[in-house]
Structure 1
Amino acid sequence: MVFPTKALRIGPYPVEPPVVLAPMAGITNVAFRTLCREFGSPTSLYVCEMITARAIVERDAKTMEMITFGPAEHPRSMQLYGVDPATVGEAVRVIAAEGRADHVDMNFGCPVPKVTRKGGGAALPFKRRLFGQIVAAAVRAAAPAGIPVTVKFRVGIDDEHLTYLDAGRIAEAEGAVAVALHARTAAQRYSGQADWSRIARLKEAVTTIPVLGNGDIFSATDAVKMVEQTGCDGAVVGRGCLGRPWLFRELHAVFSGQEIPDGPSLGEVGAILHRHATLLTAHLGEDKGIRDLRKHMAWYLRGFPIGSEPRKRFALVSSLAELEDLIADLDHDAPYPPDAEGPRGRQGSPGRVVLPEGWLDDPEDAAVPVGAELMHSGG
C-alpha cells in the first residue's frame, strides 16, 4: 500500500493520520466529534457543523450554542459558510478575537436547493472573483491570530459547469493552507459515484498546498485506495462514519501500517451507543439529547439481526434509562455483520441545480448574491 510521503499539516497543526471528519449538519456536534476522536487519533481533524458568518456577526443564540468544543479538542476546527466578503471577514475577526476556533474551513460545497437557488454553497465558485474575495477576506481576518483557513468545494455545478480547478488555484493564490474536493457535482448531490479522477487532476493543478479528497469513503481501505489512486494528501470522511465512529479506529490502523481490527459485536455497539447518548445528554440535556440520538439508531444497528419491533423502540427511545433497557435486551455476542458495510446516509437522486436568474451569465461578476446570507447555522 502507498501512503502519503510526508505528514499532512493544516497550517501549524500536524494531522496524523491524514484523516478529517467532514462537517455534517445535525451530526458533527461536540458529542459525535468526541466519540470519533476517542476511536481515532487525537491528531486527526474533526470539524464541527457548518456555522454561518452572518449568524456569528448577529450573535444568533442557537449558533453561539453550536460553537461548543470539548476540553480535549485541539485544534478546534470550525466550518464557516458565507457569501459576502465583508460579513465573512467580520465573522472570522469575531472568531479570532474571542478565541472560538483554531482552524476555519470555508464551505463552498453545499448542494441543498435552498442554498444554491440564492447563489450560495456549490453555486458560488462559478463566480470566480467573488469566490476569491471571500477566501481572501477570511485569510486576512484570520492571519493576525495565526488561524489557518482551508476551503472545501465540489467539482462544479453540473457536468457543463465545472469549477473545481479554478476554485483550487484561486484558493491557493488567496492564502488558503489546504483545499478539499468532494468529487461530485452539485447536480449529483449524494447520488452515484464520486469521480476520484477529479481529485487527481486537482492535485496536479494545486501544487503548493495540500489537496484532500472526499467522497465514497465507506471503509478504511477506501481511504487508502483514494490516496493511492489520486496522490491526494489526506481523506475527508463524511457519511461513511454515520453510526460507525469506530471507522476512525480502522483508519488510524490502516494509515499506521497495522491490521484493520474486526468490527464490533452487537454488545460493543450497544456500549458505543450508550456512550454517544451520555455525551449528547451532557451537551444538550437528556430530553433533547436522546431525541437527537434517534436519527443515529438505524445506522448503528444496520445489518444486525434484532427484529423490527426492537428497531422501532430504539427509533422512538425517549430516555437514557429506556435506552439502557433496550441495550440490555440485545444479543451482545452477535458478531459484526457483513451487511453493515457499504454506503450509508443520504444518497437520493441527481437533479437540476436551482440557481438565481442569470447566475451563469458572467463568472467574473463579483456582486454578492441577494438573499443568500443564511442567518441560521447547520444547513
Structure 2
Amino acid sequence: MLPASPLHLGPHRVDPPVVLAPMAGITGSAFRRLCRELSGTSGGLYVSEMVTSRALVERDAETLRMVTFHPEESRPGMVRSVQLYGVDPRTVGEAVRIVVGEGRADHVDLNFGCPVPKVTRKGGGSALPYKRPLLRAILREAVAAADGVPVTVKMRKGIDDEHLTYLDAGAIAQEEGVAWVALHGRTAVQHYSGQADWDAIAVLKRELDVPVLGNGDVWSAADALRMTARTGCDGVVVGRGCLGRPWLFAQLATAFRGEPLPADPDLRGVAAVMVRHAELLTEELGEDKGVRDLRKHVAWYLKGFAVGSDLRRALAMVRDLDELRALLDRLDLDQPYPVAVLDAPRGRTTAQKRVALPEGWLDDPYDAAVPAGAELVTSGG
C-alpha cells in the first residue's frame, strides 16, 4: 500500500492520519502521552476526554484540569485537542470561547456520538443530530466562537436503524464550516455490539467534500488499512482497539508509511509499558490516585497471557508503584504476545435495549428547542 496522505486540520498537519478517540476515564494526559511516546512520532492526534460545556463555563475545577495539557503535549508539531459536549448552543459557544480565548487548545471536537444513557436522555451525544435545527445552531455557535481554530464533529449513524441521521448531520456540519467529520459506524442502540458498518462511512465519504474519518472495529493496523481501502476515508479514529495496547499507534504510523509493522511486545515489554503508564498517571494524579486509576487497565494489558488468578487479582488491586513492579516481576515475562486476541473486542460489547431520550424527542426532528435541564454539570461521559 502506498503511504497515506496526511490530514489537514486548519493550519495543522495530522500525519499519520490517525486520531485517538476520546474515552471517558481513559484519555487523560497520561494515556495520551503514553500513546504518543510509544508511537515514536509527534504526528497523529490525541484527543482529551469528553468535557461538558456547562462545567467548563462554570469553571469546575476537575473540568479545568481536564483541559490543561502537559508541556510535553505542546511541543512543535503537536496539536492540543479538546472534545466538548453540550446541548444548548449558547453554552457550547461560551465553552469554545473559553478554550480558544484562554489558549487552552488548538482544536475543538464536538461530541454527537456518545450513546451513554445519562447523555442521550438529556438530548445530547448521539441523540442530538436527530434535531437538525438544534445541531445546526450548536455548530454555528461553535465555529463562530472558535474564531478560526478548527472545529470537527464525531457522530454515529443515528439513534437506531429507523432514525438514521448521519447523512443529514454530515451535510449540516459541512455547511457550517467544520474541518472534518468522523463517523462511528454504529447506531446509539447498538452501543458497541455487533460489527461497525464501514459501508456507511463509504457513503458519507462520497457525499461530503470535507474529510471523513472512519471509526469502529479498528483493532489492528491491518484493520485501519482495510477501512481506508474499503471506504476511501481520509483517516481513522481508534478507540477500544488501543485499550491495553497503546503501542498500536506505532504500528499504525508504520502501516500508513507503507513499512513493515513492528511486532507486539512480549510480556516483559507489556510489563514495562504498564510501569510507564503508572508513572505517568502518578505524575498527573499523584501516586495513590494514579496507581488506582491503572487498575482499570490491568485486564486489558494482560488479556490472553497466562497469568494465575491470584496474581491477576493482586494486580487489579495494586496500591503503589513498588507493589506494581514487584507483582509484575512474578510473571513469566518471556511469554510472546498472544496474537489470537488481537482482533478480539475490548471494552463493553452489549447492545442497549433502547436509547434513553427526552420525552417526545422523536416527535419532530425539526424542533430546535433545548430540552429543560439538558446541560450536564460533570465531565467525562
TM-score normalized by structure 1? 0.97
Hey, what does 2:294 align to over in structure 1? 293
Q: Is the 8 A contact 1:302 1:339 kept in 2?
A: no
Structure 1 residue 183: deviation in Å?
A: 0.5
The 1:330/1:177 distance shift into structure 2, 3 A limit, reads same
Q: Is the 8 A contact 1:3 1:228 kept in 2?
A: no
Q: Which runs of 4+ in 1 moved over 2 A?
A: 1-4
Hey, what does 2:341 align to over in structure 1? 340
2:114 aligned with 1:110: yes
1:41-190 counterparts in 2 under 5 A?
A: 41-73=41-73, 74-143=78-147, 146-190=148-192
Hey, what does 1:13 align to over in structure 2? 12
Hey, what does 2:374 align to over in structure 1? 372
Q: Deviations over 1:35-65 (max 9, x none)?
A: 0001223110000100011011100111111
- Partner of 1:162: helix, strand, or coil? coil
More moved, 322-331 vs 334-343: 334-343
Structure 1 residue 68: deviation in Å?
A: 2.5
Flag structure 2 segments of 5+ consecutive residues without an equivalent: none
Structure 1 residue 124: deviation in Å?
A: 0.4
Q: Is the 8 A contact 1:299 1:344 kept in 2?
A: yes
Letter matched to residue 71 of structure 2? P
Identity %: 64
2:6 and 2:143 mapped to 1: Cα distance? 23
Hey, what does 2:38 align to over in structure 1? 39
2:135 and 2:120 mapped to 1: Cα distance? 14
Structure 1 residue 349: deviation in Å?
A: 2.3
Q: Deviations over 1:125-164 (max 9, x none)?
A: 0000100110110100001xx3100001000000000000
Hey, what does 1:225 align to over in structure 2? 226
Structure 1 residue 354: deviation in Å?
A: 1.8
1:264 and 1:349 mapped to 2: Cα distance? 32
More moved, 292-301 vs 58-67: 58-67
- Partner of 2:213: helix, strand, or coil? strand
Q: Is the 8 A contact 1:2 1:228 kept in 2?
A: no
Corresponding pairs, count: 375
Structure 1 residue 276: deviation in Å?
A: 0.2
Q: Is the 8 A contact 1:18 1:233 kept in 2?
A: yes
2:145 and 2:277 mapped to 1: Cα distance? 35
Q: Is the 8 A contact 2:3 2:257 kept in 1?
A: no
Flag structure 1 segments of 5+ consecutive residues without an equivalent: none
- Partner of 1:151: helix, strand, or coil? strand
Q: Deviations over 1:67-118 (max 9, x none)?
A: 2312132210000001111011111111111111110000000111121112
Structure 1 residue 174: deviation in Å?
A: 0.3
- Partner of 1:349: helix, strand, or coil? coil
- Partner of 2:64: helix, strand, or coil? helix
1:304-315 counterparts in 2 under 5 A?
A: 304-315=305-316
Hey, what does 1:206 align to over in structure 2? 208
Structure 1 residue 338: deviation in Å?
A: 2.0
Structure 1 residue 19: deviation in Å?
A: 0.3
2:159 and 2:258 mapped to 1: Cα distance? 38
Letter matched to residue 93 of structure 1? R
Coordinate RMSD, CA, aligned = 1.0
Structure 1 residue 373: deviation in Å?
A: 0.3
- Partner of 1:99: helix, strand, or coil? coil
Structure 1 residue 371: deviation in Å?
A: 1.7
Q: Is the 8 A contact 1:18 1:235 kept in 2?
A: yes
Letter matched to residue 117 of structure 1? R
TM-score normalized by structure 2? 0.97
Q: Is the 8 A contact 1:3 1:224 kept in 2?
A: no
- Partner of 1:161: helix, strand, or coil? coil
Q: Is the 8 A contact 1:80 1:106 kept in 2?
A: yes
1:149 and 1:333 mapped to 2: Cα distance? 46
1:340 and 1:184 mapped to 2: Cα distance? 22
- Partner of 1:157: helix, strand, or coil? coil
Hey, what does 2:236 align to over in structure 1? 235
Q: Is the 8 A contact 2:3 2:258 kept in 1?
A: no
- Partner of 1:165: helix, strand, or coil? helix
Hey, what does 2:260 align to over in structure 1? 259
Letter matched to residue 63 of structure 2? T
Letter matched to residue 68 of structure 2? T
Q: Is the 8 A contact 2:22 2:50 kept in 1?
A: yes
Q: Is the 8 A contact 2:154 2:181 kept in 1?
A: yes
2:17 and 2:251 mapped to 1: Cα distance? 13
- Partner of 1:153: helix, strand, or coil? strand
1:305 and 1:54 mapped to 2: Cα distance? 46
Structure 1 residue 2: deviation in Å?
A: 5.7
1:103 and 1:216 mapped to 2: Cα distance? 25
1:250 and 1:128 mapped to 2: Cα distance? 39
1:197 and 1:2 mapped to 2: Cα distance? 22
Q: Is the 8 A contact 2:56 2:63 kept in 1?
A: yes
